Structure 1
Amino acid sequence: MTDCEKALNDFISYIIVEKGLSKNTILAYKADVLKFINFAEKKLISLENFEHNDITDFLWELKTKALKPRSIFRVIESLRQFYKFLNLEDLSENNPTLYLAAPRIPENLPNILTFDEVNLLLDSVNGNDEMHIRNKAMLELLYATGLRVSELINLKFSDINLEDCFLRIIGKGSKERLVPFGNKAKFFIGIYLKKRKPCLSVDDHIFISRLGKKLSRIEFWRQLKNIAKNAGINKNITPHTLRHSFSSHLLKGGADIRFVQEMLGHASITTTQIYTHLDNDRIVQQHRKFHPRG
């Protein structure tokens, strides 16, 4: 094992133990730093001797491979954390990332459904068999709580308090939060549990497939696509669309942004603040309607 490989392995161990990052974030950091190490070895430059211009050359090479600004931004953050670790462990006195300028990232506002579209989507699932009732319960719960799809499909009986209407969720970074839901979701979950067949696996997942096994995120995504198509909704809908819609509708209704942040499990309120920018069209319409020179 080379010194670079050992440094990378030690860095990954460090962020797992010290940072409590999600599995996907850790894998992304590892992939970013590995690309950097391969570049350094190709250029015959040690981590200690890497300079600001060398980092710039590395990032330029990524850009020529059509890496998007958001991905380059993540690479820069990965390298900053890597060199911070090297400095902390006295593995390098050098830090060529100190004065790196992050690329400008265009603000991509999330796709959301209107109130009417959500009602249309939810009301279109009206079958009485187990799978229709399961889909209805999942959609009602997703819109009622703003869960991530991974959190939804991994729900277990030990995570839900149906009587008091709240969920115990272990989100990104193994952070626990309590999420309430309303009577509509409670009603359809109750109906589903009465129709639900026994689970064939040892796990006690609430939402299961026709075969009695844990439901996959891909299968639920396909079901959602078909439901939206049958409802006549032409937008590109994913499970995350309902999470975005949940957030936006709460804020439009006057909910406190910190309450929404807590419900979503966002570590930073700046992540939640993007939903405060989604109401621009309504603001323009109101201005045109009521301003004397509109």
Structure 2
Amino acid sequence: MRSHIESFLQYMTVEKRMSANTRQAYASDLTQYASTLNQLGVKDWNDVTRSHIVKHIEELSQAGRASSSLRRAVSSIRMFHHHLKMTGVTTTDPSLYLETPKAEKQLPDTWSQAEVERLLDSVPTSDPLSLRDRAMLELLYGTGMRVSELLGLDLDDLQFELGYLQCEGKGERARIIPVSSVAQGFVERYIQQARNGLGGRETEAHAKLAGIDKEITPHVLRHSFATHLLENGADLRAIQQMLGHADLATTQVYTHVNKSRLHDVYRKHHPRA
């Protein structure tokens, strides 16, 4: 049974371009799944029933697994059984009508527009390291890129004369993102004045200098980018394209963030709130 798991992972890696992290997660999910089936006395994939899968998911839930982890486990099992049937290993798919555990609503951390402005303005540009940091932060907030995408940029990806850059996201999907003249200016200064021979430095120090007592990560700036666009009337599908989300449902989480902020404003300012 284990050999079929390895064949599935190999197929997903080669044909579907599964990332190393996703492969590791799926391998863990399916290894645990196979272990449960073994304990239940199941020795062949053709003998697996929906009840066996439900039993496994229930055990994971009782062990304290988060809903996101349970959802991923169900997804792994579904894709695996689909692959088994498509390749003729099994004649049926017991996961076909399996219910997906409901997701816990976890809104992404975002900063207000004023907080982001304070952060950016707190970074000096008088020395090479600070200029590098300012250019990176301006690009992260100005484009919503993932930090891995930022680090993967080449000079040829910067089409500033046309007002955009091109980056390669998850699954090697390339996309084009508009870049503001402000971000372009800092990036061009960095390239001309400070690009060679610089090491790293934590951006958390800039948040402290700005007097912001919140955690700063590249993803916070990505979330803030999307939330601020939505707050200012941007179309959700346009935001989806800029973020590189394959599914619009992933982008729709920012509508919940926006509603949450509306409630905060209401509670603070309405006389009967």
Q: TM-score, normalised by structure 1?
A: 0.85
Query: 1: CA distance between counterparts of 2:246 and 2:17?
Result: 12
Q: 1:47 to 1:238 in 2, by over 3 A?
A: same
1:215 match: none
Q: Partner letter of residue 217 of structure 2?
A: T
Query: 1: CA distance between counterparts of 2:40 and 2:268?
Result: 59
Query: 2: CA distance between counterparts of 1:165 and 1:189?
Result: 13
> Structure 1 stretch 142-151 or stretch 89-98: which is displaced more?
89-98
Q: Partner letter of residue 252 of structure 1?
A: E
2:102 match: 104
Per-residue Cα deviation, 1:148-173 (whole angstroms, up to 9, x for no partner): 11111221222212332321111111
* CA shift for structure 1 position 101: 2.0
Given candidates 129, 140, 150, the residue that maps to 1:131 is 129
> Structure 1 stretch 29-38 or stretch 104-113: which is displaced more?
29-38
Structure 2 alignment gaps of length 5 or more = none
| Runs (4+) off by over 4 Å | 286-291
2:173 match: 175
Does structure 1 residue 232 correspond to structure 2 residue 211?
yes
Does structure 1 residue 263 correspond to structure 2 residue 260?
no
Does structure 1 residue 31 correspond to structure 2 residue 28?
yes
Q: TM-score, normalised by structure 2?
A: 0.91
> Structure 1 stretch 281-290 or stretch 134-143: which is displaced more?
281-290
Percent identical across equivalent pairs? Answer: 36
Query: 1: CA distance between counterparts of 2:104 and 2:95?
Result: 23
SS in 2 for 1:35: helix
Query: 1: CA distance between counterparts of 2:214 and 2:91?
Result: 52
Structure 1 alignment gaps of length 5 or more = 200-208, 211-218
1:145 match: 143
Q: 1:34 to 1:162 in 2, by over 3 A?
A: same
* CA shift for structure 1 position 288: 8.6
Query: 2: CA distance between counterparts of 1:120 and 1:229?
Result: 11
Query: 2: CA distance between counterparts of 1:118 and 1:21?
Result: 34
Query: 2: CA distance between counterparts of 1:24 and 1:272?
Result: 22
Query: 2: CA distance between counterparts of 1:289 and 1:123?
Result: 29
* CA shift for structure 1 position 289: 6.1
2:162 match: 164
* CA shift for structure 1 position 225: 1.5
* CA shift for structure 1 position 246: 0.3
Per-residue Cα deviation, 1:80-129 (whole angstroms, up to 9, x for no partner): 00000001111012322123222222111111111100000000101411
SS in 2 for 1:258: helix
> Structure 1 stretch 281-290 or stretch 159-168: which is displaced more?
281-290
Does structure 1 residue 19 correspond to structure 2 residue 19?
no
Query: 1: CA distance between counterparts of 2:262 and 2:132?
Result: 38
Superposed CA RMSD in Å reads 2.2
